[in-house]
Amino acid sequence: MNRGLLGHNHIKVNAYMPYGLKDLNIVSPFMKPSKHSMPEVASCYGMRELQKRSLTIKAWQHIDVKQDNGTVTFDPTSKQYFGSEQHPSHLQGIQVIKVVPPITLTCDEDLDWISCPTPFVHHPLNIISGIVNLKYDHQPNFFIYFDAKKELEYTIEPLMPLFHLVPLSNRPVKVNYIYDWQEGIKIREKFRIWPKYNLYKKIKAIRGKS
């Protein structure tokens, strides 16, 4: 298949968000690679391709993060569009916090995506990498490691890149933005009928694998 045909065979993603996030480019396809006057890390092939081929998920509001005495707290501008919860950790001395953006993503294709922290912004948040499949999992959560022995005060600024979703495909992504949060919530609720922590079994059951 040639590149010309690939250009018309997009991976189609629907992004449901609250109307208040309209035009903020929170789910951003195809970041334009920045120009560099001399060779540097950000000008290498891998970095430039990541910018061009991934969906970049950005901070949707101002969020203050504080870690003190083994406790992690988040203070967002609007708690209506923010969710977080602590998850069991497989690492001693590490707290794992799941953060839930007000974004619902759907894709009709059975396609895996790499979820990885952005290398284009320096911040002290240890965001975990992993694999997601938007056909089955519509909630683009991200998980953060916190060292329980450390203290931290940090502010996530609006529109700061947080992580990328990279399709395991060489086809471009086309995003259809739908500012109907109630519909996005309905899609999430359908996903929640499956037992918690059972997404792996859900995917296997739908695919018909043993």
Tens of pLDDT along the chain (210 residues)?
344 444 468 999 999 999 999 989 999 886 665 665 666 666 677 777 887 889 999 999 999 999 998 899 999 999 999 999 988 888 888 999 999 999 999 999 999 999 999 988 888 999 999 999 999 889 999 999 999 889 999 999 999 999 999 999 989 899 999 999 999 999 988 766 555 556 667 667 767 664
Note down the domain range covering 85: 3-204
> Helix, strand, coil proportions of the chain in percent (round to 5)?
20, 35, 45
Confidence at residue 192, expressed as pLDDT on a 0 to 100 scale: 62
Residues 6+ apart with CB under 8 A from 182: none
Confidence at residue 210, expressed as pLDDT on a 0 to 100 scale: 45
Q: Which two tokens stand for residue 5?
A: 């045909």
In whole angstroms, what is the distance from residue 104 CA to residue 203 CA? Answer: 18
Query: Is 71 contained in some domain?
Result: yes
Confidence at residue 157, expressed as pLDDT on a 0 to 100 scale: 96
In whole angstroms, what is the distance from residue 136 CA to residue 132 CA? Answer: 9
The residue type of 123 is H
Query: Is 100 contained in some domain?
Result: yes
Backbone angles phi, psi at 4, to 5 degrees: -60, -40
User: How many domains, in total, are found in the chain?
Assistant: 1
Query: Is 180 contained in some domain?
Result: yes
Three-state SS annotation for 43-83: HCHHHHHHHHHCEEEECCCCEEEEEECCEEEEEECCHHHCE
Query: Is 191 contained in some domain?
Result: yes
Query: Is 209 contained in some domain?
Result: no
Question: Quick one: which H or E segment has residue 105?
Answer: strand 104-106
In whole angstroms, what is the distance from residue 90 CA to residue 92 CA? Answer: 7
Confidence at residue 18, expressed as pLDDT on a 0 to 100 scale: 96
Query: Is 57 contained in some domain?
Result: yes
